């Protein structure tokens, strides 16, 4: 029995020895014929990083700075017949008079204006003047009634993605002086607007539209916000909220696409109104339409596919003196190409009264140029 156990142990030892020997031989062969130097290589990667600091401590201080300069602009025919409202803010004080800015479309057509402050006190406002094409209006009140004056900033200094906020009274007076926050989503947005007046001030047909150069924001704004301030994170006003895109314009769902008049444009209009009672803009004296609508006026545009089609030239206007006639198709205004009449209106205001501008147009298929000296309205 002991001999049998001893023989079994010897067999096991021999098997183990053979296995060890085979392993040693295989390792030696592996090292000899397989190059392992490239198995695990280290590549030095230079990582370039740009440090981005994100600081978000809220905008409560900025809101506090602007809040009491914000007002509700109620409009109607009398103190007992207020039919609508918008928003606004105190722009400046001159002696005993304070000036409030709002949108032109907020006050147009009204004969009575009531200003409501953040402490619910009210005063009567007097319409000074405004400009439909800039959608800016000026109201004056007794300086003793105001609570604060807004600090004016610069829309050009605000970058895309910067925090902005709006203050206004949307939808219902129950939501008075609401604060909404977002970012600056875009600049230089050309947004189409339509005239609401019965007579144009600048020599254009009132049934036509024009483009406004606006700031785009994603801060929530609604009916009633119109005329209220759009501010940067320092509480400085950089624009006047005036419109938004809604599903009424598209079958696609639209969210958070609001617009504001850049404060530089608003101030230019406001200062003219305060000093003279009106805005002086270049005047052409034209009624125009698009190429695809020209047939409605019995105008044959031939093969033209773009341009501002002249429907009518006002007697005695700068356009008449320059030789423009019904049926002409304006294709260039100064250095700007004109694809339709709304662009002509937009670029018209890039020039001043008294400037001489070269207009390129086609008549009966032939291209012509004429110089026009811009007059005032």
User: Residue 274: which domain range?
Assistant: 59-279
Residue 34, pLDDT > 90, answer no
Q: Give a yes or no: residue 196 inside a domain.
A: yes
Asked if 88 and 228 touch (Cβ cutoff 8 Å), the reply is yes
For the entire predicted model, the pTM comes to: 0.74
Q: Indicate whether 192 and 103 sit together in one domain.
A: yes
Q: Indicate whether 253 and 266 sit together in one domain.
A: yes
Residue 203, pLDDT > 50, answer no
Q: Indicate whether 152 and 261 sit together in one domain.
A: yes
Residue 337, pLDDT > 80, answer yes
Q: Give a yes or no: residue 66 inside a domain.
A: yes
Domain boundary among 279, 310, 340: 279
Q: Give a yes or no: residue 362 inside a domain.
A: yes
Partner residues linked to 357 by β-bridges: 372
Domain boundary among 279, 307, 329: 279
pLDDT tens digits along 344-358: 888 888 888 999 999
Listed range (134-138, 252-256, 314-318) with the worst mean pLDDT: 252-256
Q: Indicate whether 266 and 173 sit together in one domain.
A: yes
Residue 45, pLDDT > 50, answer no
Q: Indicate whether 299 and 241 sit together in one domain.
A: no
Q: Indicate whether 185 and 200 sit together in one domain.
A: yes
Q: Indicate whether 273 and 333 sit together in one domain.
A: no
Question: Given this model, what pLDDT does residue 351 score?
Answer: 87
Q: Give a yes or no: residue 92 inside a domain.
A: yes
How would residue 204 be classed by pLDDT, with cut points 50, 70 and 90? very low
Query: Residues of the chain with pLDDT > 90: what percent?
Result: 63
Q: Who contacts 191 (Cβ-Cβ below 8 Å, separation ≥6)?
A: 211, 212, 214, 243, 259
Number of domains in the chain: 2
Q: Indicate whether 271 and 325 sit together in one domain.
A: no
CA distance 84 to 168: 14
Q: Give a yes or no: residue 44 inside a domain.
A: no
DSSP class of 31:
H
How would residue 39 be classed by pLDDT, with cut points 50, 70 and 90? very low
Q: Indicate whether 336 and 194 sit together in one domain.
A: no
Question: Given this model, what pLDDT does residue 238 score?
Answer: 98
Q: What tokens were used for 21?
A: 């020997």
Q: Does the annotation mark 135 as catalytic?
A: yes
Q: Give a yes or no: residue 50 inside a domain.
A: no
Report which of residues 287 and 19 the model is more confident about.
Answer: 287
| Helix H or strand E encompassing 19 | helix 2-33
Domain boundary among 245, 279, 313: 279
Across all residues in the chain, what is the average pLDDT?
85
Q: Does the annotation mark 60 as catalytic?
A: no
Q: Indicate whether 134 and 79 sit together in one domain.
A: yes
Q: Give a yes or no: residue 4 inside a domain.
A: no
| CATH code for the domain in which residue 294 is found | 2.30.42.10
Phi and psi for 47 in degrees, rounded to 5?
-100, 120
Q: Give a yes or no: residue 3 inside a domain.
A: no
| CATH code for the domain in which residue 116 is found | 2.40.10.120
CA distance 346 to 326: 21
Active-site residue among 105, 131, 178, 340? 105
Asked if 307 and 291 touch (Cβ cutoff 8 Å), the reply is yes
Residue 208, pLDDT > 60, answer no
pLDDT tens digits along 83-113: 899 999 999 999 999 999 999 999 998 999 9
Q: What tokens were used for 104?
A: 């032109």
Q: Indicate whether 109 and 251 sit together in one domain.
A: yes
Q: Indicate whether 142 and 85 sit together in one domain.
A: yes
Active-site residue among 185, 226, 233, 243? 226
Asked if 340 and 291 touch (Cβ cutoff 8 Å), the reply is yes
């Amino acid at each position: 029995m002991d001999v049998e156990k001893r023989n079994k142990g010897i067999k096991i030892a021999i098997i183990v020895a053979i296995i060890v020997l085979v392993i040693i031989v295989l390792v030696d062969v592996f090292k000899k014929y397989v190059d392992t130097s490239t198995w695990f290589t280290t590549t030095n990667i230079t990582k370039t990083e740009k440090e981005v600091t994100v600081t978000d401590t809220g905008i409560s201080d900025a809101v506090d700075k602007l809040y009491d300069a914000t007002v509700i602009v109620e409009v109607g025919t009398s103190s007992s017949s207020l039919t609508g409202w918008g928003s606004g803010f105190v722009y400046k004080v001159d002696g005993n008079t304070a000036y409030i800015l709002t949108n032109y479309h907020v006050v147009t057509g009204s004969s009575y204006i009531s200003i409501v402050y953040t402490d619910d006190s009210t005063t009567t406002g007097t319409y000074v003047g405004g400009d439909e094409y800039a959608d800016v209006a000026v109201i004056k009140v007794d300086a003793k009634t105001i609570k604060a004056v807004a600090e004016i900033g610069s829309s050009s200094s605000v970058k895309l993605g910067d925090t902005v906020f709006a203050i206004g009274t949307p939808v219902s007076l129950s939501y008075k002086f609401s604060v909404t926050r977002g970012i600056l989503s875009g600049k230089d947005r050309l947004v189409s607007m339509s005239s609401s007046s019965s007579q144009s001030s600048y020599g254009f047909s009132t049934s036509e539209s024009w483009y406004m150069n606006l700031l785009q924001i994603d801060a929530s704004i609604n009916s009633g916000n119109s005329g209220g301030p759009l501010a940067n994170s320092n509480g400085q006003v950089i624009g006047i909220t005036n419109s938004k895109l809604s599903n009424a314009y598209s079958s696609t769902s639209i969210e958070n696409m609001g617009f504001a008049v850049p404060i530089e444009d608003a101030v230019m209009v406001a200062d003219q109104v305060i000093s003279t009672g009106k805005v002086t803009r270049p005047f052409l004296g034209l009624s125009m339409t698009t190429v695809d609508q020209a047939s409605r006026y019995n105008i044959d545009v031939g093969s033209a596919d773009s341009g501002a089609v002249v429907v009518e030239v006002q007697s005695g206007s700068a356009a008449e003196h320059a030789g423009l006639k019904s049926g002409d198709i304006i294709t260039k205004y100064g250095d700007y190409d004109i694809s339709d009449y709304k662009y002509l209106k937009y670029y018209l205001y890039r020039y001043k009264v008294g400037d001489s501008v070269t207009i390129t147009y086609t008549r009966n298929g032939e291209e012509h140029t004429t110089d026009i000296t811009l007059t005032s309205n």
